[in-house]
């Protein structure tokens, strides 16, 4: 007796979400943020695609994890779901599940077969007290004119070239805001807090100032 073969075709869709993470939510870790998104999709009745193996994980990609304690105004994630839905419907189902501090800014659907997103650079800002802006500007000028500027990170054998990773570093005295653009690196990019240390502002967060990542730029 012969039995027919049953083939189950899985319908999957890849979506990209740009979102902000602010307020008290900036105090949770990246792992906790992943759990927030998993719970959010579950409550919206959207099934996530899972990896294979003994410990399956949701197919969820963050091109650049946001550091603990840093606000993110335009973060990006990509996720694969087990159904086809238009972006308007996805937004309608997801937005009511967002906790305070998490806001969906945009949802899009990359073309099938499109390459995974590659990080180009990230932009950060931090408010600098008026009485420290002049010295910070001088330190920034020294750093940007020196090539290379090597940083030795604990636990890493090879030094990091801060200057090579910095696309821009400046302070706007009219606004009292320091801005930096950090290029993506194949090895280990300099961290925003390390840049602040390099220009004598490593203690800003201890005095109530906090970093904000204003943009994450991808190549697609």
Assess whether 74 and 32 both reside in one domain. yes
For residue 64, the enclosing domain spans: 13-108
Q: Quick check: 211 and 69 in contact, CB under 8 A? A: yes
H or E segment to which residue 151 belongs = strand 150-151
Please give the pLDDT value at position 8.
44
Q: Is the pLDDT of residue 5 over 70?
A: no
d(CA 220, CA 65): 18
Assess whether 206 and 169 both reside in one domain. yes
| 25-65 pLDDT, tens digit each | 999 999 999 999 999 999 999 999 888 878 888 889 999 99
Question: How large a percentage of the chain has pLDDT more than 90?
Answer: 68
Please give the pLDDT value at position 146.
85
Q: Is the pLDDT of residue 176 over 80?
A: yes
Assess whether 142 and 211 both reside in one domain. yes
3-class DSSP state for residue 25?
Answer: helix
Assess whether 80 and 153 both reside in one domain. no
Would you call 124 exposed, middle or buried from its count of C-beta atoms within 10 A (0-12, 13-18, 19+)?
A: buried
């Amino acid at each position: 007796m012969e039995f027919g073969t049953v083939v189950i075709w899985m319908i999957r869709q890849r979506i990209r979400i740009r979102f902000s993470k602010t307020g008290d939510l900036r105090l949770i870790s990246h792992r906790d943020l992943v759990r927030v998104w998993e719970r959010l999709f579950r409550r919206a009745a959207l099934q996530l695609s899972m990896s294979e193996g003994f410990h399956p994980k949701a197919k969820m990609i963050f091109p650049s994890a946001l550091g603990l304690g840093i606000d993110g105004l335009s973060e990006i994630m990509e996720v694969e779901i087990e159904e086809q839905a238009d972006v308007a419907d996805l937004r309608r189902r997801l937005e009511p599940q967002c906790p305070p501090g998490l806001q969906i800014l945009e949802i899009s659907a990359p073309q099938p077969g499109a390459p995974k997103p590659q990080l180009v650079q990230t932009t950060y800002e931090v408010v600098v007290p008026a009485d420290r802006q002049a010295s910070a500007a001088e330190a920034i000028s020294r750093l940007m004119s020196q090539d290379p500027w090597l940083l030795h990170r604990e636990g890493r054998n090879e030094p990091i070239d801060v200057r090579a990773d910095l696309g821009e570093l400046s302070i706007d005295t009219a606004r009292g805001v320091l801005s930096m653009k950090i290029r993506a690196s194949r090895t280990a990019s300099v961290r925003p807090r390390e840049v602040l240390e390099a220009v004598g502002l490593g203690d800003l967060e201890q005095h109530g100032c906090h970093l904000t990542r204003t943009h994450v730029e991808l190549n697609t």
